[in-house]
């Protein structure tokens, strides 16, 4: 059954992919943007990827909304069936004051949920992150991370971004438990998201691929991360509103764990003439550099760490296996190269 979905942060990299898949599934999308001029940007990005663009101006509409302000939410929520809250900051560098990340993430999620409750919206999908699941070490005796795991926001090795996503998701679950028990909440917890963006206004994860292609770093740190294709992330957002049984669930969107070098080798294989670094830097060198660079210091706790993820819930929700993350990395690189951005 077609639904009218309020998609917050509609100009985001992931959100644009979600908009495409929502529209392809027959849903109506009302996107929030800080300035209505960004609406045209989103529509232009989405349009080439739709099988039918008939009446797009009525199927994809926009409202101006600042997630840090209370004004405008009543109008945004009018006649909405589903709130899909994707908006949250994802920085390439950690801020000097972690509250610059944490407060907007937590307050924005709660502001959206309160507005949904006031408007009588019962179905909510929140974009969280695997950093809210696997930011801390795996508990003793466990062999892989799954949706029962939570990052400890008091863990000193968890960075500001990890804290922001963990605290925002915890606040959302607490709100539903304590203030809106009839609200059906599902969280999608993506890993590091790759895949060709829909336009040149892309996010931080694609900047990482851009940096690789530019060969700015002679060697790579011995770190890795859970990785996922953006199309699977978008598909999960759409599938859960069609599956009532996913209410109350966290769903971890991840293909698997890949070393940074794995991603680099996949791109190097596709573009052998590019000066893409694939050598691993000695850990002692990274630790020394971390004394002078806070962004490098932030990755030191993850040197040599290898995580395993149980993505059975995501596969069951999608009804098929996950797309291979190295291929998503190559498609990210192809977009940047084809559009002469590197």
Which active-site residues does the annotation give?
A: 165
- Which are the contacts of 312, defined by CB distance < 8 A and separation ≥ 6? 146
- CA–CA separation, 117 and 124 (whole Å): 10
- Which are the contacts of 7, defined by CB distance < 8 A and separation ≥ 6? 15, 18, 19, 22, 29, 30, 31, 32, 84, 86
190, 226 contact by CB (below 8 A): no
- CA–CA separation, 276 and 266 (whole Å): 10
- Tokens representing 171 are 């606040």
What are the DSSP E strand ranges found in 230-336? 250-253, 256-259
- CA–CA separation, 116 and 30 (whole Å): 14
């Amino acid at each position: 059954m077609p639904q009218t979905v309020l998609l917050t942060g509609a100009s985001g990299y992931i959100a644009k992919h979600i908009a495409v898949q929502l529209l392809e599934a027959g849903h109506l999308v009302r996107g929030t943007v800080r300035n209505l001029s960004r609406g045209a940007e989103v529509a232009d990005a989405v349009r080439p990827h739709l099988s039918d663009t008939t009446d797009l101006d009525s199927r994809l509409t926009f409202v101006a909304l600042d997630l840090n302000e209370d004004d405008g939410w009543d109008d945004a929520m009018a006649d909405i069936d589903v709130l899909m809250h994707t908006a949250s900051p994802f920085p390439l560098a950690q801020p000097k004051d972690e509250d610059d990340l944490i407060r907007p993430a937590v307050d924005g999620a709660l502001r959206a949920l309160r507005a949904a409750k006031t408007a009588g919206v019962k179905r909510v999908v929140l974009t969280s992150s695997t950093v809210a699941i696997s930011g801390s070490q795996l508990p003793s005796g466990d062999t892989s991370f799954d949706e029962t795991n939570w990052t400890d926001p008091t863990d000193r090795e968890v960075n500001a971004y990890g804290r922001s996503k963990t605290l925002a998701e915890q606040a959302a679950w607490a709100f539903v438990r304590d203030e809106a028990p009839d609200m059906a909440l599902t969280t999608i917890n993506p890993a590091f998201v790759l895949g060709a963006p829909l336009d040149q206004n892309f996010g931080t994860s694609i900047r990482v691929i851009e940096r690789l292609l530019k060969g700015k770093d002679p060697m790579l740190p011995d770190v890795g991360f859970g990785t996922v294709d953006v199309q699977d992330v978008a598909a999960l957002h759409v599938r859960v509103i069609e599956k009532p049984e996913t209410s109350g669930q966290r769903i971890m969107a991840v293909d698997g764990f890949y070393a940074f070098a794995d991603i680099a080798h996949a791109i190097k294989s596709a573009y052998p003439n590019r000066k893409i670094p694939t050598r691993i830097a000695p850990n002692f060198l990274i630790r020394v550099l971390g004394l002078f660079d806070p962004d490098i210091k932030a990755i030191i706790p993850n040197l040599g760490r290898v995580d395993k993820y149980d993505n059975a819930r995501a596969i069951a929700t999608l009804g098929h296996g996950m797309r291979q993350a190295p291929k998503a990395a190559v498609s990210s690189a192809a977009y940047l190269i084809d559009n002469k951005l590197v």
